Amino acid sequence: MVDEKDDDRYFEYDDDDYMYDDDQEVDKSHKMFVECPHPNKVAPPAITVENQDPASTKFIWKIDNFLSMMDKEKHYSDVFFVGNYPWRVFMYPLGNRTDHLSMYLEVADWTTLQYGWSRSAQFTTCYLNSLLQTLYHIPYFRKAVYHMPTTESDMASGRSIPLALQTLFYNLQYNEGSVGTKELTESFGWNAHDSFMQRDVQELNRVLCEKLEDKMKGTLVEGTIQQLFEGHYMNYTECINVDYKSTRKESFYDLQLDVKGCKDVYASFDKYVEVERLEGDNKYHAGQPHGLQDAKKGVLFTDFPPVLQLQLKRYEYDVMRDTMVKINDRYEFPRQLDLDRECRKYLSPDADRSVRNLYTLHAVLVHSGGGNGGHYYAFIRPTLSEQWFKFNDERVTKEDINWALEEQCGGEGRYSNAYMLVYIRESDRDKIICNADVKDIAEPLRTRFPKEQVEKEDEEHKKKDELQGLKTLKVSFHHATKVNTDHLSIRLPKQSTVGDVINELKTKVELSHPNAELRFLEVFSQKISKILPPSEKIMHLNDQYWSGTLRAEEILEEEENLGPEDRLISVCHFTKDANGLKHFGEPFLLAVHEGETLDAVKMRIQKKLQVPDEEFVKWKFAYLSWMGRVEYLQDSDIDPNRFPRSNFGARERYLGLEHPSSMRFLHIRFHKLLRNQLSVITESDLRQCFPHQTLGE
């Protein structure tokens, strides 16, 4: 709530403002607005706190001479109490990596928090955030990470996963403020672009554990990964009419459970150990002297790990739509999981009967969204108490256990649901949920981390002072003579123009010839939404990954000298089904000349994309509007006047190429393939076309 009195600003907070459902469409954290103050003489700001009303627990932050606060990056309110905890408000008058005022509420003294409360973590990739928070809140695992030896060469290389994870865990546990993952992702070998790619959490978990397991060899913590996460099962084939049985033992760090067709975790385990009959035309070959035999085939577990990680198979490939789709079916998971149920039916007869396989739920990792993307967060019970917390990027909130469990089961109309469950065996809980404090950190790290933190803070202050008034743009540059794309960060004063960005790019990229000219585009949902004029101010550009991509490319020679009736049109690829239009592949610009028919344009497009005749005859061409209206064209049709006359500005109409998406490989970076006359499509090219599939499918 905002009240205005001359040039004063009042910020009033009610504790009810912060009790809301994170999944609601309305974001109450942005319910407070600030009007720009009238011009006034600059004077030191006077900040006062009105008396608190104990009945409603209100806090009012009064700011005199708001304009004078612009000379300092960050301002804090006085401390106030709500629910017996100290709070304070802080704000960035000039924005926190944004172009508008930013305000936050935080705990004033985090050292007073009860054991089990942890600092928030601000990660670029929310799926990585949820996984790291889960691993961090397994204290036995955290202690093992702290004890891993690191060397001076690890510190110098910047590519040590153990050191990066130690640093992250230490900062998360002991330092005030949010924690970034840049050092960790760089240790994976990721660049800035890689960090924005959503990845498979199960694969990431396995890679991370394998790397740590390898680094732990020969140390005091060797075998920790196996001790915590490794279980075993036995594949068997047993003949029915003769005495012959074949077995093979395998290990696992996590289990993939079917969701489709299963009502809960127990039903998935029933399906996992389901016996398959091999008979008739599908008899089992038992070798000599038995030959073909009727047999039964299945899986039984020989042992379960102390920490049981269950990956729920909420995604499947839809052949008809050529895409990954999410299964939002209701799927229940118990607070306590008894894997000894029904006479230990999931276990091999050889399994150790002295081990009681009763598990308690420790963490629920949630995905909110569809098959092609969304948001990830986690519900975790950090201690042996019954209190659950929600870890949603930089926000950590208390949650009711019923919300953590019941509301994450999915079902009709619910797109937020569990995709990974972490259970801890009851008999091992006291050992695993232990205290991990400063004495568990190796002495060299205990000395180095605080010193590094001070140096880092000093350096950040210097950088922020230097960067005041600057804007950073993430730009993808498409080469004229290379297959790869460069991903660059361009930092310029906010008053700079697109023309300034283009001039800066020319100093950083390799051009096909010294006099090459560039253009700057906005690409959204595989369509060119706008060609940006050189005069446009960069302060108005938005390069966040969810809103689109800024792309720079060379202007082709045929596009440089267009006639007054020629047009530079936007072309995109699409398929159409019952669910509407689906765009894919690389959009591009094409010069259409006065009087040119679609038949002539098609010939040029086929040549550009190098599409075989037998495939190209299946393609359809249409006018597409931004809202998705389709108007199919005949060979004699094309009217350049239906496209924008200017080479700059928004693109509201497109020439659409409708064809099967299985042909995507033919137009991967089409202009690059054309200019280089490449005869081989690389694995990297295929991954850009099929980001959600395993190569070879």
Average pLDDT over residues 305-309: 97
pLDDT of residue 646: 61
Q: How far apart are CA 540 and CA 117, in angstroms?
A: 39
User: Which residues are CB-neighbours of 546 under 8 A, at least 6 positions away?
Assistant: none
Instruction: For residues 261-272, give the mean pLDDT.
Output: 96
Helix H, strand E, coil C: the string for 520-557 is EEEEECCEEEEEECCCCEHHHCCCCCCCCEEEEEECCH
- pLDDT of 1 > 90? The answer is no
Say if residues 390 and 442 touch (Cβ distance below 8 Å).
no
Taking residues 485-494, what's their average pLDDT?
86
Mean pLDDT, range 563-591, rounded to an integer: 86
pLDDT at 422 over 90: yes
Q: Do residues 549 and 472 lie in contact, with contact meaning Cβ atoms separated by under 8 Å?
A: no
Average pLDDT rounded to a whole number, residues 657-677: 53
Residue 471 confidence (pLDDT): 82
What's the CA gap between 119 and 132, in Å, rounded? 13
Residue 53 has pLDDT above 80, yes or no: no
Q: Per DSSP, what are the bridge partners of residue 424?
A: 307, 360
What average pLDDT does the segment 67-95 reach? 78
pLDDT at 6 over 50: no
Q: What is the pLDDT of residue 97?
A: 53
> Does the structure show a pLDDT above 80 at 413?
no
Q: What percent of the chain has pLDDT over 70?
A: 74
pLDDT tens per residue, range 343-352? 999 999 999 9
| Mean pLDDT, range 108-122, rounded to an integer | 52
Name the band, by pLDDT with cuts 50, 70 and 90, for residue 372: low
Strands 567-577 and 580-592: antiparallel
Catalytic residue among 75, 147, 375, 487: 375
The reported pLDDT for the residue numbered 440 is: 82
The span from the CA of 309 to the CA of 208, in Å, is 14
Grade residue 274 by pLDDT with cuts at 50, 70 and 90: very high
Least confident of 81-85, 116-120, 547-551, 638-642: 116-120
Least confident of 424-433, 456-465, 546-555: 456-465
Decide if 375 is catalytic.
Answer: yes
Higher pLDDT, 502 or 644: 502
User: Looking at the predicted structure, is the pLDDT value of residue 8 above 90?
Assistant: no
Average pLDDT over residues 462-473: 71
Task: Give residue 273's pLDDT band: very low, low, confident or very high (50, 70, 90).
Answer: very high
Rounded distance, CA 477 to CA 518, Å? 10
pLDDT for 552 equals: 93
Give the N- to C-terminal CA distance of the chain in Å, as an integer. Answer: 55
Of 87 and 264, which is predicted with more confidence? 264
Q: How would you classify the pairing of strands 307-313 and 255-258? A: parallel
Q: Please tell me whether residue 421 adopts helix, strand or coil conformation.
A: strand
Indicate whether this model's pTM tops 0.85.
Answer: no
Determine the pLDDT at residue 421: 96
Token pair in block for residue 436: 């991990």
Q: Which of 99-103, 208-212, 336-340 has the lowest mean pLDDT?
A: 99-103
Q: What is the pLDDT of residue 641?
A: 63
* pLDDT score of 279 more than 90: yes
Q: Is the pLDDT of residue 558 over 50?
A: yes
d(CA 285, CA 278): 10
pLDDT at 34: 27
The answer to whether 568 and 562 are in contact (CB under 8 A) is yes
pLDDT of residue 454: 76
* pLDDT surpasses 70 at 192: no
Q: For residue 35, name the pLDDT band (cuts at 50, 70, 90).
A: very low
Mean of the per-residue pLDDT values for the chain? 77
325 vs 336: CA distance, rounded Å: 30
Structure confidence at residue 239 (pLDDT): 96
Residues 595-618 pLDDT 10s: 788 888 898 899 888 889 999 999
pLDDT-derived band at 642, boundaries 50, 70, 90: low
Residue predicted with more confidence, 121 or 183: 183
Average pLDDT over residues 256-267: 95
* pLDDT given at position 120: 44
Q: Kindly report which listed range (39-53, 391-405, 541-555, 664-678) carries the lowest average pLDDT score.
A: 39-53
| Cα-to-chain-centroid distance, residue 565 | 45
> What are the tokens at 380?
């975790």
Q: Where residue 103 falls among pLDDT bands split at 50, 70, 90?
A: confident
Amino acid 563: pLDDT: 81
Q: Which residues are CB-neighbours of 533 under 8 A, at least 6 positions away?
A: 498, 648, 649
Q: Which residue has the higher pLDDT, 418 or 692?
A: 418
Q: What's the pLDDT at 125?
A: 59
Q: Between 428 and 415, name the one with better pLDDT.
A: 428
pLDDT digits (tens, 9 = 90+) for 143-177: 999 888 877 666 666 678 888 888 888 888 887 76
394, exposed or middle or buried, with CB in 10 Å at 0-12, 13-18, 19+? Answer: middle
For residue 635, the one-letter residue type is D
Paired strand residues for 301 = 233, 347
Question: According to the model, what pLDDT value does residue 174 have?
Answer: 82
Q: What are the distances in angstroms from CA 532 to CA 450, 493, 498, 647, 687?
A: 46, 18, 7, 9, 29
Residue 598: its H or E element: helix 598-609
| Model confidence pLDDT, tens digit, residues 681-690 | 444 444 444 4
Listed ranges 23-32, 90-99, 678-687; the one with the highest mean pLDDT: 90-99
630 has a pLDDT exceeding 70:
yes
pLDDT greater at residue 84 or residue 89: 89
Q: Tell me if residue 209 is catalytic.
A: no
Work out whether the CA dihedral 275, 279, 285, 290 comes out positive or negative: positive
Q: How many whole angstroms separate alpha carbon 174 and alpha carbon 633?
A: 64
**25: which 2 tokens?**
């469409």
